[in-house]
Amino acid sequence: MASAAASLFILTGASRGMGRAMASQLLARGSGVQLLCISRRTDAALEAEAASAGSQVVQWSLDLADPVPAAQQLGQWLAGLDGAAFGAATLINNAGTVGDPAPLAQAALPALSQALRVGLEAPLLLTAAFLHATAGWAGRRQVLNISSGLGRNAMGSQAPYCAAKAGMDHFSRAVALESGGARIVSLAPGVIDTDMQVQLRSADAALFPDRGRFEKLKSEGMLDSPESAARKVLAWLERPDFGDQPVADVRQG
Ligand SMILES: NC(=O)c1ccc[n+]([C@@H]2O[C@H](COP(=O)([O-])OP(=O)(O)OC[C@H]3O[C@@H](n4cnc5c(N)ncnc54)[C@H](OP(=O)(O)O)[C@@H]3O)[C@@H](O)[C@H]2O)c1
């Protein structure tokens, strides 16, 4: 049974990279933390971390490329919880994919659709389900969308990723204007040493002229660690002015 000060977190993309680091850091806060993780793969180590810290974790293995059932499942799960038990409820839309970078004319149509469903449609639908199901909850309600500098600065061969993140930024601005009592931020997390960067560095250079930029970031030690990036992103949630600026960047304070 959650205590009155309990905090509920819903985190997508918790199986790897920055999301995995965020999951560990949230669970380490101990009793009072209840975490729901959503990604295709689950991680038994998270259960062990929760058990040793006294926090609680639930993991759903879901493909966010199929976002309608995922959002419906989230809404139903939240509707079954006692909202009065939580001092705060937070949705972190962190899952994303860069796919195989390529000029739009050469990209595979199913891959383009997948990138937009995972990167834009799923966060929007999960946000809708979260806001609807928690509308009557008295505690602090927050949505943190993990965006990217590429949502604000375009890059060739990255059209679906750029579009997903720009869409995420702009739907966050729109939701911030709605009077539902929740706060929302679309936050660029910096450049992080994860599988996503490996994917960019291993892309076909003939299809991705900017590949060298990502190789240089790695070779010059410019990548943030997943743990450090996770700390910065989670610290953003604690800011008293969270949501005053619905589009933000950890590098700009
Ligand atoms: N790394 C960077 O430099 C960087 C820079 C700017 C912004 N970001 C953003 O930061 C966030 C985290 O990035 P990261 O670098 O940690 O990524 P990552 O290491 O590639 O991890 C991506 C996460 O998303 C999940 N995911 C991907 N496709 C999914 C699907 N179809 N259904 C469910 N979950 C899915 C993955 O889990 P499964 O594979 O288990 O499904 C994984 O947990 C992303 O939104 C990314 O766009 C990253």
SS3 letters across 35-53: EEEEECCCCHHHHHHHHHH
Whether the Cβ atoms of residue 122 and residue 168 lie closer than 8 Å to each other: no
Say if ligand 1 is within 6 A of residue 118 CB.
yes
Query: Residue written as tokens 């743990």?
Result: 227
State residue 245's pLDDT score: 97
Residue 2 has pLDDT above 70, yes or no: no
Q: What digits encode the pLDDT tens for the residues 205-220? A: 999 999 999 999 999 9
- Cα–Cα dist 249/253, whole Å: 7
Q: What is the DSSP string of 201-234?
A: HTS-TTT-TTHHHHHHHHHTT-PBPHHHHHHHHH
Residues 6+ apart with CB under 8 A from 138: 83, 84
**What confidence tens digit (pLDDT) does each residue in 53-99 have?**
999 999 999 999 999 999 999 999 999 999 999 999 999 999 999 99
Report CA(117)–ligand 1 centroid distance (Å). Answer: 13
> What is the Å distance from ligand 1's center to 119 Cα?
9
| Catalytic residue ranges | 161
CB of 55 shorter than 6 A to ligand 1: no
Going by CATH, does the domain composed of 6-190+226-242 fall within 3.40.50.620?
A: no
Q: What is the pLDDT of residue 79?
A: 98
d(CA 233, CA 11): 12
* Phi, psi for 176 (deg, rounded to 5): -60, -25
pTM over 0.85: yes
- Give residue limits of the domains in the chain: 6-190+226-242
Distance CA 69, CA 50 (A): 27
Q: Which H or E run contains 69?
A: helix 67-79
Q: What is the pLDDT of residue 5?
A: 77
Q: Report the residue among 61, 73, 94, 125 best suited for mutation to probe ligand 1: largest number of ligand atoms under 8 A from its CB.
A: 94
Per-residue pLDDT, averaged over 179-199, amounts to: 96
Question: Is the C-beta atom of 158 inside 6 A of ligand 1?
Answer: no
Nearest atom of ligand 1 to the alpha carbon of 119: 45
User: Cα of 136 to ligand 1 centre, how many Å?
Assistant: 31
Q: What is the pLDDT of residue 1?
A: 43
> Which residue has a Cα nearest atom 23 of ligand 1?
13
pLDDT tens-digit readout, 36-57: 999 999 999 999 999 999 999 9
pLDDT on residue 224: 98
Instruction: Identify the pLDDT of residue 179.
Output: 82
Between CA 81 and CA 85 the distance in angstroms is: 8
State the average pLDDT for the chain: 97
State the average pLDDT over residues 161-190. Answer: 97
Q: Above 60 in pLDDT, residue 163? A: yes
pLDDT in tens, 132-155: 999 999 999 999 999 999 999 999
User: Given the CA of residue 94, which atom of ligand 1 is nearest to it?
Assistant: 45
Is the CB–ligand 1 distance for residue 107 below 6 Å? Answer: no
Extract the tokens encoding 4: 């009155």
Instruction: Identify which of 96, 93, 94 has the alpha carbon closest to the alpha carbon of residue 114.
Output: 96
Q: How confident is the model at residue 180 (pLDDT cuts 50, 70, 90)?
A: confident
